[in-house]
Amino acid sequence: MDGWRLRVVSVLICVYLLAGSAAKAQLAPAATKPFDLINWNGGKFIYGADYYPEAWPESLWEKDAIMMQEAGINFVRMGEFAWVKMEPQEGHFDFAWLDRALKVLNAHGIKAVLGTPTASPPAWLYAKYPDIAVMDANGVRYRYGSRRNYCLHNQEFRAATARIVSAMAKHYKDHPGVIGWQIDNELSDPKCYDPVSQAAFQAWCQRKYHTLDALNAAWGTIFWGHTYESWQEIPLPWNTLFNTYNPSLVLDFDRFQSDSTHDYLDFQTTILRKIAPHQAITENEMGMFQETNWYDLNRSLDFVAWDNYPMMYKDLTQYSVAGLAHDVMRGSKDNQNYMMMEEEGGVGGWATFIGHQSPAALYRVWDYQSVAHGADGICYFRWRTSRYGTEQYWEGILDQDSYRNSRYFMVQQTGKELQQLTPLLHGSSIVSPVALLNSPDSRWALQNQPGVDDFQYDQQLQDYYDAFRRGGVNVDVAFPPSDLSAYRIVVAPALYVSDQALVDKLNAYVMNGGTLILTFRSGVKDEHNVVTDRTLPGPFAGLAGVAIHEFDPQLNEEQEIVGLGETLFPTRCWSDILEPTTAKVLATYGKGYYAGNPALTENEVGKGRVYYVGTESKSPLFYDRLIALAARKSLVALNNKIPAGVEVSVRQRGGKKIIFVMNYTGTAQTVPLEQAYKNALTDKTEPMEVQIPAYDVKVLTE
The arithmetic mean of pLDDT across residues 222-248, rounded, is: 94
Q: Is the pLDDT of residue 516 over 80?
A: yes
Phi then psi for residue 97, to 5 deg, are -65, -40
CATH class of 7-204+258-425: alpha beta
Can you tell me the mean pLDDT for 123-133?
Answer: 97
Residue 270 in this model has a pLDDT that exceeds 70: yes
- Give the count of beta carbons closer than 10 Å to the beta carbon of residue 31: 4
pLDDT at residue 3, rounded to an integer: 39
pLDDT of residue 557: 75
pLDDT band of 574, cuts 50, 70, 90:
very high
CATH 3.40.50.880 positions along the chain are: 434-634
pLDDT-derived band at 283, boundaries 50, 70, 90: very high
- Residue 343: name the closest of 333, 39, 329 by CA: 329
Instruction: Taking residues 25-31, report their average pLDDT.
Output: 36
Q: What integer pLDDT is reported at residue 567 of this predicted model?
A: 83
Residue spans in the chain of domains classed CATH 3.20.20.80: 7-204+258-425
Q: Residue 640 in contact with residue 628, Cβ under 8 Å? A: yes
| Structure confidence at residue 242 (pLDDT) | 83
Query: pLDDT band at residue 317, thresholds of 50, 70 and 90?
Result: low
Q: 434-634 belongs to which homologous superfamily?
A: Class I glutamine amidotransferase (GATase) domain (3.40.50.880)
pLDDT over 60 at 5, yes or no: no
Burial of residue 314 (CB within 10 Å: 0-12, 13-18, 19+) is exposed
User: Looking at residue 529, what is its pLDDT?
Assistant: 98
- Using pLDDT thresholds of 50, 70 and 90, give the confidence band for residue 9: very low
Res 314: pLDDT: 66
Could you report the per-residue pLDDT of 492-506, keeping only the tens digit for each?
999 999 999 999 999
Predicted confidence at residue 20, as pLDDT, reads: 44
pLDDT of residue 523: 98
For 302, list phi and psi in degrees, rounded to 5: -75, -35
Q: Give the active site residues.
A: 186, 342
Name the pLDDT band for 315 (thresholds 50, 70, 90): low
Say what the pLDDT of residue 18 is.
36
What are the residues whose beta carbons fall under 8 Å from the beta carbon of 541, sequence distance 6 or more? 523, 534, 535, 547, 581
Measured N-to-C along each axis, helices 406-425 and 360-372 cross at an angle, to the nearest 10 degrees, of 20
Whole-prediction pTM value?
Answer: 0.94
Kindly tell me if the per-residue pLDDT of 17 is higher than 50: no
Query: In this structure, are residues 17 and 207 in contact, taking their beta carbons and an 8 Å threshold?
Result: yes
Q: Is the preceding omega at residue 382 within 30 degrees of 0, hence cis? A: yes
Q: What is the mean pLDDT of residues 300-326?
A: 88
Helices (H), 241-340: 247-275, 294-297, 319-331
Of 657, 663, 652, 649, the closest CA to residue 701 belongs to 657
| Mean pLDDT computed over 411-429 | 98
The ranges of the chain annotated as CATH 2.60.40.1180 are: 646-701
Q: What is the pLDDT of residue 241?
A: 87
**Is the predicted pLDDT of residue 95 greater than 90, yes or no?**
yes
pLDDT given at position 514 = 98
For the stretch 669-682, pLDDT in tens is 999 999 999 999 99
- For residue 525, give the amino acid letter: K
- The CA-CA-CA angle for residues 640, 644, 647, to 5°, reads 75
High-pLDDT (> 90) share of the chain, %: 89
Range 439-451 average pLDDT? 96
**Nearest-angstrom CA–CA distance, 685 and 699:** 11
Give the strand pairing for 178-182 and 338-344: unpaired
The CATH code of domain 646-701 reads 2.60.40.1180
Q: What single-letter amino acid sits at 323? A: G
Q: Please report the pLDDT score of residue 456 as a whole number.
A: 94
* Secondary structure (3-state) at 230: coil
pLDDT at 486 over 90: yes
- Residue 431 to residues 413, 444, 477: CA-CA distances in angstroms? 28, 29, 12
Mean pLDDT of all residues in 136-159: 95
The three-state (H, E, C) secondary structure of 585-651, written as one string: EEEEECCCCCCCCEEEEEEEECCEEEEEECEEECCHHHHHHHHHHHHHHHCCCCCCCCCCCEEEEEE
Distance CA 274, CA 276 (A): 6
Q: Measuring CA to CA, how many Å separate 517 from each of 316, 522, 534, 561, 596?
A: 29, 11, 20, 17, 22
Q: State yes or no: pLDDT of 293 exceeds 70.
A: yes
Instruction: Tell me what pLDDT residue 32 has.
Output: 58
Average pLDDT over residues 16-44: 62
Q: What's the confidence (pLDDT) of residue 1? A: 39
- Averaged pLDDT for residues 42-61: 98
Average pLDDT, the chain: 93
Contact between 319 and 664 under an 8 Å Cβ cutoff? The reply is yes
- Taking only the tens place, the pLDDT of each residue in 531-560 is 999 999 999 999 999 999 999 998 787 899
Q: How far is the first Cα of the chain from the last one, in angstroms, to the nearest whole number?
A: 71
Choose among 248, 242, 251, 244: nearest CA to 228: 248
Single out the residue of 630, 548, 41, 524 nearest to residue 305, CA to CA. 41
Residue 424: name the closest of 476, 367, 371, 473 by CA.
Answer: 371
Q: What is the pLDDT of residue 28?
A: 34
